[in-house]
Amino acid sequence: MSRPGDGLLARLVARAHGMPTERHWERSAVLEPRYAARVPELISDAGGLAFPPSALDQPSKPLDPRDPAVGMLAAQLESRAGSNPLRKSKQPSERRPSSSTLGGWRLIARTDKEALFARGMPPDLVIVAVQKDDRRGTWSRADKTAGRPLRVTRDGIRASSWRLDPTHELRADDTVLRILVTEQTYAGGKRADRRVLDPDLYEDDHELIMTIFVTPLAGFQMRSPNPETPVRVALPHPLASRELIDGAVHEHSH
């Protein structure tokens, strides 16, 4: 627990760093969490489709080389070492990919227009997203990522990180949390006022896992650092001695 003088010192430091004032907190939104399972329904690395965490643990099934999406994956894998970069936008040739090329790769999410393939497990997970051009009827690579954080996803929105207000000392009987939210997507350096959604909350006798989501701004946004947004969260029960956890990033266990 903090010592008696820590609160004043924290407030002075916070003010020097441009953090929210008491007036900001008084005007901040009060959010009411909705109950959620401990394991999220969907996660994403922002490179393509969202997928259930269980998709990473399912037995790997052989990929069908006759599938055009699989063919595009194989073409990308076979052309990694010094081939024409323009080839990534072309449909692969009729030559069948070898089983060694596709070894270890598995399909983890699929729609009519997109497919998501993965190899390995976090933190060494590699993901390749491919998408279909309806006009041409061909597939191309949309993105490739490696080792990115897997953020919880709700209604197409990836979770944003948060931290407790460092100027406020938590007490066991607290039922309202003061938190600072850092929006995950670019917002032109603006705060997320009135765009922070009611969070997901899992609670038991030992921990509270809270996951925050922010409705992104429409259109192009400048890639400026987002300032923290102050919000308050009304807990259904007092905090007590339970551990408070930011659930934005899914830590996959296997």
pLDDT tens column, 27-71: 999 999 999 999 999 999 998 999 999 999 988 889 998 999 999
pLDDT, mean over the chain: 87
pLDDT for residue 10: 55
Other Cβ atoms within 10 Å of 144 Cβ, number: 17
Structure pTM? 0.83
Asked whether the predicted pLDDT for residue 87 surpasses 90, the reply is no
Residue 240: which pLDDT band, with cuts at 50, 70 and 90? very high
Of 228 and 93, more confident: 228
Q: Tally the domains of the chain.
A: 2
Give the angle subtended at the CA of 220 by the CAs of 214 and 222, to the nearest 5°.
85
The values of phi and psi at residue 53, to 5°, are -55, -30
Alpha carbon distance 33, 1 (integer Å):
26
Residue 206's pLDDT band (boundaries 50, 70, 90)? very high
Residues 54 and 141 in one domain: yes
* Predicted pLDDT at 80: 66
For 127, phi and psi rounded to 5 degrees? -125, 135
Nearest to 251 by CA among 136, 147, 122, 128: 122
Structural domain boundaries enclosing 179: 6-41+154-246
- Among the candidates 106, 126, 148, a domain finishes at 148
* pLDDT value, residue 235: 97
For residue 25, give the 3-state DSSP assignment.
Answer: helix
Pick the last residue of a domain from 111, 127, 148.
148
Same structural domain, 108 and 194: no
Shared domain check, 132 and 66: yes
Give 93-100's long-range contacts (Cβ < 8 A, gap of 24+). Answer: 96/65, 97/65, 97/70, 97/71, 99/62
Residues 85 and 127 placed together within one structural domain of the fold: yes
Locate 37 and state its tokens.
């399972």
Average pLDDT over residues 167-189: 94
- Sign of the Cα torsion 5, 9, 14, 20 reads positive
The number of helix segments (H) and strand segments (E) in the chain equals 4, 15
Residue 92 domain-assigned (yes or no): yes
pLDDT score, position 121:
93
Residue 254, domain member (yes or no): no
Domain end point (choices 124, 148, 172): 148
> For the ranges 9-18, 130-139, 177-186, 245-254, which has the lowest average pLDDT?
9-18
